[in-house]
Amino acid sequence: MFFGGRKGTEQGTEQDKVITMGRFQNRVSLSPMRQAEAYWTALRRGDDIPSRAQVDPRGLENILSQTFIVERIAPGIARFRLAGQKVNEMAGMEVRGMPLSAFFTPDARKELSAAMEHMFEAPAIIELSLQTEATRQKGARDAHILLLPLRSDLGDVSRALGVFVSEGNDTGSSQRFSIKNIEMRAVTTGALERPEFKAKDRKPADVAKPVINAPNPGFEETQTRFRREPSIMEEARALLNRHKTGDAAGTSTPKPVAKDTSKKARGSHLRLVVNRD
C-alpha cells in the first residue's frame, strides 16, 4: 500500500487516504488484441470477411508469438492449425492439432463452444475474458483471447485468427482457464447474402448477340440412336423359318466347293526359320 502523507507534516491529516496497489496488478496489456483487430479490419474487402490466404505473418510481426489460427472441425469445436511461442508456453507443450477447448475448464467448455459456433455462423468477433485456476504457489490471474473469423479457400467461414494475451506461464505446466465474460460483436457483411443461382437462357432474345452457355459446335458430339437388337429367340425362329421355307421349295443343300490347293490359291503365308548354329 502507498500512504498519502506522513506524521508531522501538513499532509498528516490525509493518512486515511490509502491507494491499494492490488488494482494495478494482474493487468495485462490489450494492445496486441487491438493491433490484430486493426490488421484484420484492413484486410477486409468492403464488407466481406477476409480469407485465410490474406493473412501475412509480416503484418503481425510484433505480436506473432501471441497469435494463432484455428480451424472449425465440428459444430462448436475448433483445433489449432498454427500457434505462436507464448501460446505453446501457456499449454506447456506444442498445441498444433489440439482443440482450443483444451485450455479451458470443463465448466467453461460449453460456453466456449456456443461462442465459437456463433462466431462462425453469424459471423462475429469474440472477445473472452479469462481467469486461471488459483494454485498454492500463485493466485488467479487474468488472460484474454480475441477471435476474428476468416474464410477458408473454399469460401466458407471456418477459420479464425486468434490472439492470446496473458502474463505468461512461470511454472511451465499446462494452464486451465475459466470464462469471466464473453463479448460478441456481429460483423456486418452483405457478401453472405448471396442470391439464388439461376442458369441463363440458352436462347437469347437478340439473335445478333452471342448465345450464352451454348455448346461449342467444335466439341459437340452427334449422337445416333441405337437400333433395337433382336433377341436370341427371335433369331432362332427366323433361322427355323428360313430352313422350313428352303425345304418346301425343293432346294437342296449345296455341295461344298473344292478348295484349290495350288500355291496361288493358298496365297502368302509366314514361315518360321530356326537357325541353331
pLDDT at residue 98 above 80? Answer: yes
- How would you classify the pairing of strands 77-83 and 124-132? unpaired
Q: Name the grid cell of 264.
A: 496361288
3-state helix, strand, coil in the chain (%, to 5): 30, 20, 50
Establish how many alpha carbons lie within 13 A of residue 19's alpha carbon, considering only the half-sphere containing its beta carbon.
Answer: 7
Which has the closest alpha carbon to 28: 172, 145, 161?
Answer: 145
pLDDT confidence band for 257 (50 / 70 / 90):
low
pLDDT confidence band for 212 (50 / 70 / 90):
very low
Q: Name the grid cell of 153.
A: 479457400
pLDDT at residue 236 above 50? Answer: yes
pLDDT confidence band for 19 (50 / 70 / 90):
very low
Residue 64 CA to residue 164 CA, distance in Å, equals 10
Query: 0.85 cut: is pTM over it?
Result: no
Please give the order of strands across the beta sheet that includes 157-166. Answer: 77-83, 67-74, 157-166, 142-151, 124-132, 177-186
pLDDT at site 261: 54
Residue 118, amino acid: H
Residue-wise pLDDT for 37-54, tens only, equals: 999 999 998 888 999 999
pLDDT confidence band for 117 (50 / 70 / 90):
very high
Name the DSSP class of 112: H
